[in-house]
Structure 1
Amino acid sequence: MATRIKAFNSQHLTAICQVLADTNQGLSGAQIERLLHEIKVADSSPNITKWKRLFNALANAQNQHQVGNHLIMFINRAMDPVSYASDPESFTWRRNQLNIVLAFSGFHVREDGKVIYINKATTLDEARARAGKLKAALENRSVHEEVLNYCRAELLDENYFHAVFEATKGVAERIRLMSGLKSDGADLITKTFMGLHPILTLGPLNTESEKSEQRGFANLLIGLFGAVRNPLAHAPKTNWPMSEQDALDILTLVSLIHRKLDRTKKLVIEAP
Structure 2
Amino acid sequence: MNMNWTPQTVTALAKAIGETENGISGSEISRYLRSLGMNDNSGESTKWKRLDFAFHHSLVEFNGPKRIITLISKMMEPVNYTTNSGLFETRQRMINAVLVHEGLRVTNSGQIAHTQKAETLTEAARLTNTVREELIRRGTHPRVLKHCAEEIFRYGYLHAILEAAKSVFETLRQKTGVDGDGTGLADAALSLNSGKLQINSLETVTERSEQNGFNSLVKAVAGMYRNPTAHDPRLKRSISEDELYEALMLFSMIHRRLDEAKLR
TM range (shorter): 0.5 to 0.7
The answer (yes or no) to whether the contact 2:140–2:249 under 8 Å persists in 1 is yes
Aligned to 1:135: 132
Report the secondary structure of 2:143's partner residue: helix
1:264 to 246, 251, 261: 261
Whether 1:118 and 2:121 are equivalent positions in the alignment is yes
Unmatched runs of 5 consecutive residues or more in structure 2: 11-62, 64-94, 104-115
* Matches of 2:9 and 2:153, distance apart in 1: 21
The answer (yes or no) to whether the contact 2:201–2:207 under 8 Å persists in 1 is yes
Aligned to 2:213: 216
1:235 to 232, 235, 239: 232
* Matches of 2:252 and 2:241, distance apart in 1: 16
Residues 119 and 263 of structure 1: CA distance in aligned 2, closer, same or farther (over 3 Å): closer
**1:168 to partner: Cα distance:** 0.3
* Matches of 1:114 and 1:10, distance apart in 2: 17
**1:10 to partner: Cα distance:** 6.6
2:168 to 163, 168, 171: 171
Aligned to 1:197: 194
Aligned to 1:101: 99
Q: Which residue identity does 1:211 align to in structure 2?
A: R
Residues 149 and 179 of structure 1: CA distance in aligned 2, closer, same or farther (over 3 Å): same
The answer (yes or no) to whether the contact 2:199–2:257 under 8 Å persists in 1 is yes
* Matches of 2:142 and 2:123, distance apart in 1: 29
Residues 87-98 of structure 1 aligned to structure 2 (within 5 Å): none
Number of matched pairs: 172
Q: How much identity, in percent, do the aligned residues show? A: 32
* Matches of 2:252 and 2:196, distance apart in 1: 21
* Matches of 1:134 and 1:153, distance apart in 2: 12
Aligned to 1:162: 159
TM-score computed with the length of structure 1 as normaliser: 0.55
Whether 1:153 and 2:150 are equivalent positions in the alignment is yes
Residues 63-82 of structure 1 aligned to structure 2 (within 5 Å): none
Deviations along 1:4-42, one digit per CA (max 9) or x if unpaired, are xxxx837759xxxxxxxxxxxxxxxxxxxxxxxxxxxxx
Residues 244 and 130 of structure 1: CA distance in aligned 2, closer, same or farther (over 3 Å): farther
CA RMSD of aligned residues (A): 3.7
Residues 234 and 183 of structure 1: CA distance in aligned 2, closer, same or farther (over 3 Å): same
* Matches of 1:134 and 1:237, distance apart in 2: 20
Report the secondary structure of 1:150's partner residue: helix
**1:115 to partner: Cα distance:** 6.0
The answer (yes or no) to whether the contact 1:193–1:200 under 8 Å persists in 2 is yes
The answer (yes or no) to whether the contact 1:133–1:158 under 8 Å persists in 2 is no
* Matches of 1:170 and 1:104, distance apart in 2: 38
Residues 116 and 266 of structure 1: CA distance in aligned 2, closer, same or farther (over 3 Å): farther
Deviations along 1:42-73, one digit per CA (max 9) or x if unpaired, are xxxxxxxxxx9xxxxxxxxxxxxxxxxxxxxx
Report the secondary structure of 1:204's partner residue: coil
Q: Which residue identity does 2:194 align to in structure 1?
A: H
